[in-house]
Homo-oligomer: A and B are copies of this chain.
Amino acid sequence: MTGGILAGLRIVEGSAFIAAPLGGMTLEQMGADVIRFDDIKGGLDNDRWPVTRDGRSIYWAGLNKGKRSIAVDLRKSQGRELLTALITAPGEGAGIFATNMPARGWLSYEALSAKRADLIALNIVGARDGSAHVDYTVNAITGFPMVSGPVGHDGPVNAVAPPWDIATAYAGAMAILAAERHRTRTGEGQRIVLPLQDMALAATSALGYIGEAVINDIDRPRLGNEIFGTFGRDFRTSDGRHVMICIFSDRHVDALAAAGSFKQAFAAIEQKHGIDLKSDAGRWHARNALCAIIEPWVAAHTADEVAGALRKAGALWAPYKTFRELAHDKEAVVGNPMFTVLDQPGIGRYPVAATPLQFGAFERASPRPAPVLGQHTDEILSAILGLPAHEIARLHDQKVVGGPK
Contact = CB atoms under 8 A, between A and B. Distances in A.
A210 interface: yes
Contact of A360 (B30, B190, B199): B190
A231 to B, nearest CB: 11
Interface string A163-186: 100110011011101111110100
A322 B143 contact: yes
A244 B213 contact: no
A29 B266 CA distance: 43
Interface in A319-341: 319-329, 332-333, 336-339
B146 A207 contact: no
Interface in A334-384: 336-339, 344, 347-361
Contacts of A212: 50, 58, 323
A359 to B, nearest CB: 5
A193 B234 contact: no
A333 to B, nearest CB: 7
18 contacts: A47-B281, A51-B281, A58-B211, A132-B252, A136-B246, A139-B161, A144-B161, A148-B148, A148-B149, A148-B159, A150-B153, A156-B244, A156-B320, A188-B361, A205-B339, A205-B352, A210-B323, A210-B350
Contacts of A357: 171, 175, 192-194
Interface stretch (A82-90, A217-225, A292-300, A396-404): A217-225
A26 interface: yes
Given A203-B166, A219-B322, A322-B143, A232 B160 contact: no
A69 interface: no
Nearest to A317: B137
A209 interface: yes
A318 B137 contact: yes
A157 B166 contact: no
A319 B149 CA distance: 18
A353 B318 contact: no
Contacts of A301: none
A228 interface: yes
A30 B321 contact: no
Contacts of A206: 22, 25, 62-63, 65, 353
Contact of A326 (B132, B142, B170, B359): B142
Contact of A325 (B26, B143, B178, B204): B143
Q: How many copies does the complex hold?
A: 2
A61 interface: yes
Contacts of A281: 47, 49, 51, 55
Given A192-B357, A316-B132, A317-B137, A207 B174 contact: no
A234 B155 contact: yes
Contacts of A158: 148, 225, 234, 244
A244 B133 CA distance: 11
A208 B61 contact: yes
A216 interface: yes
A338 B201 contact: yes
Nearest to A174: B174
Given A207-B161, A215-B52, A192 B323 contact: no
A78 to B, nearest CB: 25
A281 B49 CA distance: 8
A218 to B, nearest CB: 7
A141 B203 contact: no
Contacts of A160: 144, 147-148
A244 to B, nearest CB: 4
